[in-house]
Amino acid sequence: MIAPSAGTIIATRRGSIAGDRAASSRVWSSLRRDRAGLFGLAIVGLFFLVAVGVWLGWLGQGWSAADGGRWESAGPDHWLGTNVLGQDIFQRAVYSVRTAFEIGLLVALLSTLLGALLGGLSGWYSHSWVDDSILWLKGVLDSIPFYLFVAAVAFALQGWPWAMHLAMIATFWTTTGRLVRGEVMRLKSREFVLSARAIGLPVHLILLRHILPNTLHILLVQATIAFVAAIKTEVILSFLGLGVQDGVSWGLMLAESTQEVLAGHFNNFLAASLMLFLLLLGFNLLADAMQDAFDPRQNAL
Amino acid sequence: MSDTVLSVSRLSVSFGVKSAATKTVAKVVDGISFELNAGEVLGLVGESGCGKSITAAALMGLLPSPPALMVAEHILLGDKDLSALDESGLRQVRGSEISMIFQEPLTALDPVFKIGSQLSAVIRRHQGKDRKNAFTTAVEMLGRVGIADAARIMKSYPHQLSGGMRQRVMIAMAMACRPRVLLADEPTTALDVTTQAQVLARLADLGRDSDTAILLITHDLGVVAQACDRALVMYCGRIVEQAPVAELFANPAHPYTAGLLAAVPHVSREGVRPVCAIPGSVPHPAALPAGCHFADRCDRADNQCRAHVPRLQSLEESEIAQPHRHACFHPLPKAAM
Amino acid sequence: MTAPTPPLLSIRDLLVQYPAAASGKRTLAAVNEVSFDIQPGSIFGLVGESGSGKTSLAHAIVQLVRPAAGKILFHGDNLVTMKEKELRSARRNIQLVFQDPLVSLSPRRSILQSLLEPLNHFRIGASGQRRSRAMNALETVGLDQGVQHRYPHELSGGQRQRAALARALITEPELIIADEAVSSLDVSVQARILELILHLREKTGVAFLFISHDLAVIQQLADVVAVMYLGKMLEIAPAGTLFRDAAHPYTRALLDAVPAPDPGHDKPLVLSGEPPSPLTPPSGCVFHTRCPAVMKQCEKIQPAEKHIIEPESSPSAHLVRCHLWNS
Ligand SMILES: Nc1ncnc2c1ncn2[C@@H]1O[C@H](COP(=O)(O)OP(=O)(O)OP(=O)(O)O)[C@@H](O)[C@H]1O
Ligand SMILES: Nc1ncnc2c1ncn2[C@@H]1O[C@H](COP(=O)(O)OP(=O)(O)O)[C@@H](O)[C@H]1O
Ligand code: SF4
Ligand code: SF4
Ligand SMILES: [Mg+2]
Ligand SMILES: [Mg+2]
């Protein structure tokens, strides 16, 4: 009963539409075949479970209690020893998983949403004043040095704890926006969108039913990239004192550890950087695998 | 004729087809071999779904390799064996030595950039020209594919062009790469007769001037007649007939070729002539009949056809440089002259 | 045949303009003062070179682009001056079918979803019956019901074009505009879709505006044929007349250019000269830069529309725009 498919789109340079439905299942099967990707997924999954544990109050609750001596070495009470204030390094490192996920998820979600929204508007109303103003905004944001921008935001907001998040969201959306804009422009001239316009379907329904589902692959990949970038940036910002204001994060731990390393105590430094390294490794492997799985050439035929 | 640029030997492509319970393998291209000579335009004809585009994708190394599985004895482009190259090796060859015009021009052009910048970028990369020269060359290339107001088109975005214009821009782009081999997949289906004639003539010029060998994929025998020197007829992943074009049209040996010829609609002053389409349709590659794949649609089929696979063989009379070969147990007799 | 039925669609002096890309304030007239009528239940064929304005005309009729001037009368009501709300019933009664069936159906929606969309949008039938309407539409175009849950890329080219036709038919329109709807199909599939179109016309009485660059296809289908060049309508005639006695030099050139599927045949005569730019169309007769019969007055004076066959004497007039017929 299956008839041969006739018209073919092979490996057009970018996202081809043909076969996108099968894409979801093919993406999954391609991910499954990708050992490194699976490994990455496992790491990320493990970390996520830890974060959930912290959220639920099962793990890392003793992160702030200074119940040890200064710079105790690893032992049964404090698995990875204590820091300068006598706080448990292991608990702090575990609690920081939650901080990392909070920042990563929030920034990834909101910056991707913002990118989708602004990119979508700019693509749909391409070459109009809407598009021009969004492009202008993007150009301005892209040309300000990032850390300067964060410092400015942090300064302007006078120690507001979300200043860092806001700065990241405000700058991270631009790449997503550019990609979505291109894809929307591509889709807009497609005949199925013309058909929808020709029956008078309102714009919001066209965007929701016919355009958005065809940009999901971009959004997913961009969100993973934004997640990784957010965690990395947090570390640097916290190190500089512009990041996490209350609570603990790997960045703060690293900042603490600078003096400790000079004094010959490496536990804080090792714990934070190892956790950070593992999570970033996991996410990068996963992001690569996802990018491969969504590569148009995989889905094009 | 001149020397061979591309030599394909026993190329097969199969796809794993998953159905409810079983996993079968569909052989979409089945052990085809052919040669492409410098400056030649070789036609590849057949109904849609018979494997033409897949063949082209395989030659470009663009098949998605989890679902698709490609095997070939060799695909020699000059002295490189494309079937043995890895992705980075292929990337070097693609564009500069072997290039392709895709069946669907709207997806291949980037909506974000003006035609001018896309075309000049290609010219700068492949011909090493500076910005200004690339621009003038781009205008000239557009003129060569019959676009009159090239200056306006250079400043337009893809969605501002008509369907036929987009396709001609793609052709200009592929020509700008000056490849040794150009695979053109249905390059003129969106074009009207006059533009089509013009574009085909330009493609042929390109072949002659820069010794580019062209594989012209089409389902339209009118195009083959107009533009090709030689043609391969493909059915269900196999080459069923191969001959110089004049010979193929005068003496089709394979019933499938004859069927395709009879199905070409004509314009006539006398009024409408009924089209005689080949009965039935192309079988799905996962459910091909054994023996000759055309047997279910062929009025000359007998038990031998259903049991054995006919091999490509030369017609006895044609012991010329470019043989007329067919894969049929009961070929049509030579037309009375 | 003598009782004049009011036309389904009348186009009067239609002008479609686009801002010319980045060249100051100038505009490009893609459709330039075009007038014609489509009778209910007839197939109106439209041919013309690439870029001559066929798609622009189609898009203007369904108001995808707003024309700069002229009238589009559907059952006598002018669509151009209507607000989006008032257009609703016209949108239901005029449907579009495109060239590439792979991209004319939404890739991530099943065939059933695509069929239901116009029904839901126009609130046709009770919501419980819409599904059976969709099944009927599939049956009408000769598709198996099993197709409903498939996605466009899972169908063959011919099946996809059938599904696109089903989607167009489902609102029971009076006019279907088919833009190069069979151009990407191979001859055998094409032949079956053409049969289907003729059958649909018989069965449902729907009229077609059938755009194609393929004269052989037009000859198979059309009752009336119009020829466009650089945004102008140069000749309109009943199909039989046009293919037998084309009056306009451009139409004759087109007919001569059809490639015979025969390599022994002389190479088709490519019209001499390049088609001029629509930004700066030639003065006088738009075809004069390439016309083999060009005369003095052609460069200056626009030829008026001339009836070769008066409308009264035949079901459809034979109109031509050429000085050869004005003396
Ligand atoms: N959105 C647009 N903006 C500017 N110019 C346009 C736009 N759409 C079309 N044009 C121009 O209008 C002219 C007519 O285009 P149209 O698409 O109607 O041609 P067509 O007859 O359908 O050609 P084809 O057979 O190649 O599809 C062309 O010169 C084209 O470049
Ligand atoms: N990704 C795929 N998975 C399975 N089968 C495929 C895929 N892509 C193409 N095919 C099948 O390969 C055959 C040849 O397709 P194609 O080369 O596109 O045909 P043509 O270009 O001759 O019209 C068709 O039967 C098609 O269904
Ligand atoms: S081998 Fe037999 S079935 Fe096949 S084409 Fe020839 S006569 Fe027909
Ligand atoms: S008006 Fe003149 S130029 Fe135009 S078609 Fe007629 S003869 Fe040719
Ligand atoms: Mg193909
Ligand atoms: Mg068009």
Q: What is the pLDDT of residues C161-192, one digit of tens each?
A: 889 989 998 999 999 999 988 887 777 778 88
What pLDDT does C157 receive? 76
Mutate: best of C74, C100, C106, C119, partner A, most A CBs <10 A? C106
**Contacts with A119 from chain B: Cβ below 8 Å:** none
The answer to whether the Cβ–Cβ distance between A195 and C104 falls below 8 Å is yes
Quickly state the pLDDT bin for C264 (edges 50, 70, 90): low
For CA atoms C255, C261, C263, C265, the dihedral sign is negative
Length of chain A counted residue by residue: 301
Lowest mean pLDDT among B84-98, B249-263, C27-41: B84-98
Which residue type, as a one-letter code, is found at position A237? L
Quickly state the pLDDT bin for A246 (edges 50, 70, 90): confident
pLDDT tens-digit profile of C286-310? 999 988 888 989 999 988 888 876 6
Question: Looking at residues B188-193, what average pLDDT do you find?
Answer: 74
Q: Which residues surround ligand 5, an ion (CB under 5 A)?
A: A 8; B 53
Specify the fold of C9-93+173-248. Answer: Rossmann fold (3.40.50)
Would you tell me how many other CB atoms lie within 10 Å of the CB of residue A216?
15
Question: Looking at residues A100-119, what average pLDDT do you find?
Answer: 92
> Residue B114: CA atoms inside 13 Å, Cβ hemisphere, count?
15
By Cβ distance, the residue of B64, B111, B281 closest to A300 is: B64
Asked if residue A5 has pLDDT above 50, the reply is no
Lowest mean pLDDT among A23-32, B194-203, B304-313, C209-218: A23-32
C67 touches A: beta carbon within 8 Å: no
d(CA C65, CA C67): 6
The atom of ligand 4 lying closest to the CA of C299 is: 3
B131, part of any domain: no
Cβ of B160 closer than 6 Å to ligand 1, yes or no, is: yes
Asked if residue C270 has pLDDT above 60, the reply is no
**Contacts with B277 from chain C: Cβ below 8 Å:** 187-188, 191-192
Nearest CA to ligand 2 atom 9: A301
DSSP letter for each residue of B41-62:
EEEEE--TTSSHHHHHHHHHT-
**Contacts with C21 from chain B: Cβ below 8 Å:** 114, 152, 155-157, 160
Token reading at C211:
């755009």
B145, part of any domain: no
**Contacts with A188 from chain B: Cβ below 8 Å:** 111, 159
The answer to whether the Cβ–Cβ distance between C262 and B245 falls below 8 Å is no
Are the CB atoms for B160 and B113 separated by under 8 Å?
no
Lowest mean pLDDT among A297-301, B274-278, B298-302, C152-156: A297-301
Lowest mean pLDDT among B62-76, B241-255, C222-236: B62-76
Q: Give bridge partners of residue B12 from the DSSP assignment.
A: B71
Architecture of the domain whose range is A6-299: Orthogonal Bundle (1.10)
B116, part of any domain: no
Are the CB atoms for C53 and C231 separated by under 8 Å?
yes
Q: Give bridge partners of residue C16 from the DSSP assignment.
A: C31
Are the CB atoms for C28 and C280 separated by under 8 Å?
no
The answer to whether the Cβ–Cβ distance between B48 and C185 falls below 8 Å is yes
Lowest mean pLDDT among A152-156, A163-167, B293-297: A152-156
DSSP state at residue C17? E
By Cβ distance, the residue of B49, B201, B249 closest to C263 is: B249
Are the CB atoms for B23 and B184 separated by under 8 Å?
no
Lowest mean pLDDT among A41-45, A172-176, B273-277, C46-50: B273-277
The answer to whether the Cβ–Cβ distance between B193 and C191 falls below 8 Å is no
Lowest mean pLDDT among A90-94, A208-212, B169-173: A90-94
CATH number, domain containing residue B192: 3.40.50.300
**Ligand 2 centroid distance, CA of B233 (Å):** 17
CA distance A3 to chain C (A): 6
CA distance A281 to chain B (A): 25
What pLDDT does A187 receive? 87
Domain assignments of chain C as residue spans, ordered by start: 9-93+173-248
What pLDDT does A294 receive? 67
Asked if residue C139 has pLDDT above 50, the reply is yes
Question: Looking at residues C97-118, what average pLDDT do you find?
Answer: 84
Quickly state the pLDDT bin for A149 (edges 50, 70, 90): confident
d(CA C234, CA A231): 66
What pLDDT does C253 receive? 86
Asked if residue A261 has pLDDT above 90, the reply is no
Question: Looking at residues A209-225, what average pLDDT do you find?
Answer: 88
Cβ of C231 closer than 6 Å to ligand 1, yes or no, is: no
> Which ligand places an atom closest to the C-alpha of B235?
2
d(CA A212, CA A223): 15
**Contacts with B282 from chain A: Cβ below 8 Å:** 4
| pLDDT top residue among C12 and A288 | C12
| pLDDT top residue among C278 and C113 | C113
Are the CB atoms for C187 and B264 separated by under 8 Å?
yes
Here the ipTM equals 0.77
Residue of B nearest to C102 (CA): B104
| pLDDT top residue among B185 and B241 | B241
**Ligand 6 centroid distance, CA of B162 (Å):** 5
Q: State whether residue C311 is helix, strand or coil.
A: helix
**Contacts with A301 from chain B: Cβ below 8 Å:** 54, 57, 63-64, 67-68
Are the CB atoms for B192 and C49 separated by under 8 Å?
yes
- Give burial (CB, 10 Å; 0-12/13-18/19+) of B126: middle
**Which residue from B238, B71, B101 is spatially nearest to B181, judged by alpha carbons?**
B101
Write out the residue range of the structural domain in which residue B67 sits.
4-103+180-326
> Which ligand places an atom closest to the C-alpha of C212?
1
Mutate: best of C153, C170, C193, C209, partner A, most A CBs <10 A? C153
What pLDDT does C181 receive? 85
Phi, psi at residue C13, to the nearest 5°?
45, 45
B294, part of any domain: yes
Domains: count for chain B: 1
Token reading at B236:
């269900």
CA distance C180 to chain A (A): 12
Q: Give bridge partners of residue B68 from the DSSP assignment.
A: B15
**Ligand 6 centroid distance, CA of B190 (Å):** 8
Quickly state the pLDDT bin for C273 (edges 50, 70, 90): low
**Contacts with A189 from chain B: Cβ below 8 Å:** 106, 111, 158-159
Nearest CA to ligand 4 atom 1: C322
Q: Find the radius of gyration of the CA atoms of chain B.
A: 21
Pocket around ligand 2 at a 6 A CB cut-off: A 4-6, 8, 301; B 15, 26, 28, 46, 48-54, 67, 285
Residue of C nearest to B103 (CA): C184
**Which residue from B173, B231, B282, B235 is spatially nearest to B40, judged by alpha carbons?**
B231
Quickly state the pLDDT bin for A44 (edges 50, 70, 90): confident
In chain B, which ranges are continuous DSSP H helix? 52-60, 87-93, 105-108, 115-127, 131-144, 150-154, 163-176, 193-210, 221-227, 245-250, 255-263, 303-307
**What pTM was computed for the model?**
0.80
Are the CB atoms for C36 and C73 separated by under 8 Å?
no
| pLDDT top residue among A42 and A80 | A42
Would you tell me how many other CB atoms lie within 10 Å of the CB of residue B109?
25
What pLDDT does B295 receive? 92
Asked if residue B7 has pLDDT above 90, the reply is yes
Q: State whether residue C132 is helix, strand or coil.
A: helix
Whole-number average pLDDT of chain C: 86
pLDDT tens-digit profile of B253-262? 999 999 988 8
Nearest CA to ligand 3 atom 1: B328
CA separation (Å) from C116 to A282, B131, C109, C133, C171? 43, 51, 11, 9, 10
Cβ of C295 closer than 6 Å to ligand 4, yes or no, is: yes
**Which residue from B28, B52, B333, B3 is spatially nearest to B186, judged by alpha carbons?**
B52
What pLDDT does C80 receive? 93
